[in-house]
Amino acid sequence: MPAFTLYGARGSSNTDRVRLTLAEGGIKDYEVVFLNLQNGEQRSEEHIKRNPWGKIPVLVTSGNLTLYESRPISKYLAKKYAIPLLPADTDLEAVALFDQAQSIETLYFAEPAGKISFEKFLKPILGLPVNEAAVTEAMRSLETFCDVTERHLNQHSYMAGDEFSLVDIYYIPLVQRLFVCGYGEVITGRKALGAWWERCINRPAIKEMLAADKAAAPAAFSKKS
Ligand SMILES: N[C@@H](CCC(=O)N[C@@H](CS)C(=O)NCC(=O)O)C(=O)O
């Protein structure tokens, strides 16, 4: 019996955040159940019992823990499996800097990048009209984020300091989505940010997972699952 089940969806950036964490740790003893979001399976009575917000990802362990929200799930798994992606609890300064970097990712990056992904990736799939004004505003916030982060990365190799950490993983799915939507230039157009991105996606486990997902994508989506 697998140690846990991850309820997610194909092509979901929030699910991929957790899968990347597990890939980095070489954890394979788990089951993934992909829900069909277009059919509304995330709002089924069964799934609402797992997550009252009707969203994925959700982690259910054999020890009866049910946990939602991709970042807390990733952090729990990193701790549980001792994946070296977190500062030591006893290093208060490193933990504080990690928490700071985590807040920045969620508030100043994922917020505008998520809006761009919603408008330019999801809405066209759903046949909905794109709100270009919302995209322009989100791009403005994203440019500001990238300018500030470029200065940080001129001093440090990674988002939470000089070591690759869970915060860098948090970024990967939505940065990838920016590239898919044609906005990769905000990253590659800045020297330090571009170099950081190359370092992240060239990590062996991450490279392997991203390549496998890319190869599987056409077949997966043609099955409409
Ligand atoms: N803050 C949540 C966001 C979860 C989320 O929005 N998941 C999307 C898929 S990427 C979802 O479930 N969408 C379906 C819906 O909102 O109906 C997290 O980090 O897990």
pLDDT digit string, tens, across residues 108-128: 999 999 999 999 999 999 999
Residue 70 CB less than 6 A away from ligand 1: yes
Q: Which domain holds residue 46?
A: 4-80
Residue 145 lies in a domain: yes
The atom of ligand 1 lying closest to the CA of 15 is: 10
Classify residue 131 as exposed, middle or buried by CB count within 10 Å of its CB (0-12, 13-18, 19+). Answer: middle
Ligand 1 pocket mutation pick from 55, 126, 176 by most atoms within 8 angstroms of CB: 55
Residue 225 lies in a domain: no
- Joined tokens for residue 176: 């990838």
Same domain, residue pair 30 and 102: no
Residue 85 lies in a domain: no
Residue type, 74: S
pTM over 0.85: yes
Number of domains in the chain: 2
Q: Whose CA is nearest to atom 6 of ligand 1?
A: 55
Digit-coded pLDDT (tens) for 56-112: 999 999 998 999 999 999 999 999 999 999 999 999 999 999 999 999 999 999 999
- Give 3-state DSSP helix, strand, coil % of the chain, rounded to 5: 65, 10, 30
Residue 21 CB less than 6 A away from ligand 1: no
